[in-house]
Structure 1
Amino acid sequence: MKYSISEEKVVFDDHYKMVKAKVTYDTFEGNHISTTRLAFERGDSVAILLLEKDSHSILLTNQFRYPTCKNADGWLLEIPAGSLEENEKPQDCIKREVMEELGYKIKMPKLLSTFYTSPGASTERIFLFYCEVSKNDKIEKGGGNEHENEDIQLVKIPVSQITSKILELKDAKTILALQWFPLNIMNK
């Protein structure tokens, strides 16, 4: 099956971009569909599930998220995450983000998966990692990047509470990571 993209142009360019294009693609019955589509170009991101082994806790962030205010949420518990900078490797980005947000130095994050956040609307992919740390790995304050107006709180969730906590969470990458944990770490 094939597709083609034409007449692609940026229709909004601020902190993020919105691109509009004419797309033509094959159908499963052997025909073609031609239509206009929009794509939110956010760039790729990284996220990480962190286990602090000595406290037997998962490390989460609590931070304000403007887009969630429409549904009266505002602050969300999430795994640490951030946006890749141009030409930055995902492993380097996640190390930088964990230091900025939580103040922990991580050594060898393990890539679990790469996935789209909302493939019907956004080009963003997330590189999801896992890593174990100790209390001694917390070498800086954390709290977010001041230049990005971040205010991030570290939240430790005991591993014993993960399965009950999943139903309270609103962030998809965090739910996915916390579902992975019992299947791959807790039950081994």
Structure 2
Amino acid sequence: MNYQLLHERLVYDQVFKIKKAKIKHDLFNAGSMEVEWYCFERGDSVAIVIYEKDTDCLLFTKQFRYPTIKEGDGWILELTAGSIEAHEDPEQRVKMEVEEEIGYQLNGLDFISSFFVSPGGSSERVFLFYTEVNSSDNIFKGGGLITEKEDIQLVKMPVQEVRKHIKNNQFRDAKTIIGIQWFMGHYL
């Protein structure tokens, strides 16, 4: 199967970018067709499942997320995560995010997977990691960066409570659900 990018242009460029493209691609039943697509250029990001061994807890962030207000008060639980800048190493970025957001120093990382968040309209790809820490690894302030207008709370949740939350559909963030399910499949 082949495709050809016929035309691509930037149609919106503020905080985020939106591209419009005209593409010709092969059809499964022979032939081809031309379609116009819009792509929300979000950039890549990192996220991490953090298991605190000495407390048997998973570590989450809680923060306000405007797009979620249609379903609640806007504050949701998520894995620690952040955007990757151009040419930045995902492992270095995830370590920096953990220090900034929840104050932990990480010693080792395991790569889980990378995946597209919503490939029908967004370019965002998440690099998902796993690590284990102890409560004594919490050596930084955390809480996010004031310069980035972040206000982040660390939430330690016992693994048994995480199971209940996932079963009762209380996590509303895709990367968090994916990370929890990976953890439950590998460590429980």
Give the shorter-chain TM-score range.
over 0.9
Distance 2:177 2:21 in 1: 33
Whole-Å separation in 2 of the counterparts to 1:116 and 1:54: 33
Look up the match of 1:10. 10
Provide the residue aligned with 2:181 in structure 1: 179
- Map 1:32-181 onto structure 2 (within 5 A): 32-166=32-166, 167-181=169-183
Amino acid at match of 2:58: I
Q: After the TM superposition, list the runs of 4 or more consecutive aligned residues in structure 1 that deviate by more than 4 angstroms.
A: none
Deviations 1:30-69 (A, max 9, x none): 1211011000001000000000111110000000011112
- CA distance in structure 1 between the partners assigned to 2:154 and 2:89 by the alignment: 25
Measured after TM superposition, the shift of residue 70 of structure 1 is 3.0
- Compute the TM-score of the two structures, normalised by the length of structure 1: 0.96
Distance between the aligned counterparts of 2:106 and 2:88, measured in 1?
Answer: 17
What is the distance in 1 between the residues matched to 2:70 and 2:160? 32
SS in 2 for 1:24: strand
SS at match of 2:55: coil
Looking at structure 2, the residues matched to 71 and 53 of structure 1 have their Cα atoms a distance apart, in angstroms, of: 33
Task: State the alpha-carbon separation in 2 of the partners of residues 71 and 163 from structure 1.
Answer: 22
Q: TM-score, normalised by structure 2?
A: 0.96
Cα-Cα RMSD: 0.9
Percent identity reads 48
Distance 1:110 1:73 in 2: 34
Unmatched 5+ residue regions in structure 2? none
For the residues of structure 2 that align with 1:103 and 1:64, how far apart are their CA atoms?
19
Which deviations, in whole Å up to 9, do the C-alpha atoms of 1:135-175 show, x marking residues without a partner?
11111110011111000000011011222111211001111
Give the C-alpha shift of residue 71 in structure 1: 3.1
Q: CA deviation at 1:73?
A: 4.2
Distance 1:18 1:98 in 2: 29
SS, match of residue 23 in structure 2: strand
User: Secondary structure of 1:144's match?
Assistant: coil
Q: SS of 2:170's equivalent?
A: coil
- What is the Cα deviation at residue 109 of structure 1? 1.1
